[in-house]
Structure 1
Amino acid sequence: MDKKYNKYLNFTAVTVIIGLMLAIQFQTVREPIVRDTRDTWQMREDYLKEKETYSKLLQEIRSNEEKLAKYETERKQSKEQVLRETLEELKMQAGLTEVTGPGIVLSIEPVYEEILLGEDAPTISPDLLKRLINELNMYDALYISIAGQRLINTSVIRDINNETKIDGYSLKNLPIEIKVIAENMQMAEKLYNRMQASQSAEELFRFDNLRVNVSKPEAEITIPAYQDTIRVRNMEPVESDKGGS
């Protein structure tokens, strides 16, 4: 009886061991190791991008949580005050209020020494101006004005009758002054350094006999509010029976 029991026990142990080995082998075959072929710099770049995205998301979450907490705290005390502050914040984001903060001033002017005799003074093209604005936005510019005209999300820069205009305002007279406000003085310094080292901006403008001068960061730069009426299209109020009332 003991021999039979020992034989059965040994058989069971061998079966369990074989089963574990097969399971490990199956798992190894089923999930092969995928090697990361990216080099160190690419991985570092991807990591920094993901880290920056994560940081921005955290900031947005904290900002929204703070607003929710503020609404909850002041809901019974001062609903009107919170709504007024929200309205002012939205107006600022839309460009409807004057803003003051640290930033830089760019001046676009002709390179007179390179203009041939008899040629007309150069003008700035819409594409060239758009490229410059895109570069400023890429370097975290918060607010921008061009020749005293506030630039907002719906602003249009285009050629009308061979004349570059922003929201209908002419930009034919040089020099053109572009004011840029950054989040803080440190970001203004960073913006200044990047624009000083911007070869693309220098080369593009030089081709059209223009140059871009960048002033040193200033603690206080004032950008005017958007003057025209913002037209909202393809939107209508929600009826009470269709949306939450």
Structure 2
Amino acid sequence: MRRAGATGEGAVANGPVGRDAAGRDGAPTLLAVAHGTRDPAGPRPVRVLLERVRALRPWLPVAEGYAEIAAPVLEVAAAALRGPVVVVPLMLARGYHALIDIPGRVERVCPQAVMARPLGPHGMLAAALADRLGGPAAPGRGDAVVLGAAGSSDPAGIADVRAAARLLARRLRRPVPYGFVAAGGPALAEVVAEQRARGAGRVAVASYLLAPGFFHDRMAVSGADRVSAPIGAHDAVARLVLRRYDEARLRLCGAVPVA
């Protein structure tokens, strides 16, 4: 298996993803692999996101898989495919799943596959985060915004979250610190408390997650006045999925159409 870049439950999602599936001009199948969650609502944002991907590029075969907990597990999804496959990890930063777990498991089942980079960090994600923070409850001038992420023990993953916070800060034109609800860096609750101690009127957490679940629940009890919804099925994320697919497909097929 070759890699590009440096560095919920249910059957396979709707679409032409059987063993003999092939898109227009023999386009490789896009196998999107999310983390998975025990939250019954978790897989829905992934499926809606992939429907938006299909709407942008209707001729492209798209399959769905999960690293753990939810179904179809990635081995089942990958084994159902034949021909060239590009695996896009629906991860917002580098880390164990994106760099080691998913590539290793895909290689055992689908050795011809090419791995794409994780989705983040990217300006498209910053745009989606800003949208989720918007609306009537958008942070005011005297409020603080903190990027809330799951956390990582991988220094590369921490660096990616730090970069994502910088991108969001540039988008919002205000400082954006970051915090984690799991291991690997500053605790989100401590960062929220620090912003409040510095005089912030309200503290809003921008949820750097794709779907609801355990980590989003942890953000809800971080002490923030508001926690945005997970990024979910945002149009910018759908376009970013296709961008990562296209970057990886260059290693197989040369130039590709751009949505």
The TM-score range, normalised by the shorter chain, is under 0.3
Rg comparison, structure with higher value: 1
Instruction: Give the number of the structure whose residues are more often strand, by fraction.
Output: 1
With structure 2 as the length reference, what TM-score do the two structures score? 0.23
With structure 1 as the length reference, what TM-score do the two structures score? 0.24
Higher relative contact order (CA 8 A, sep 6+): 1
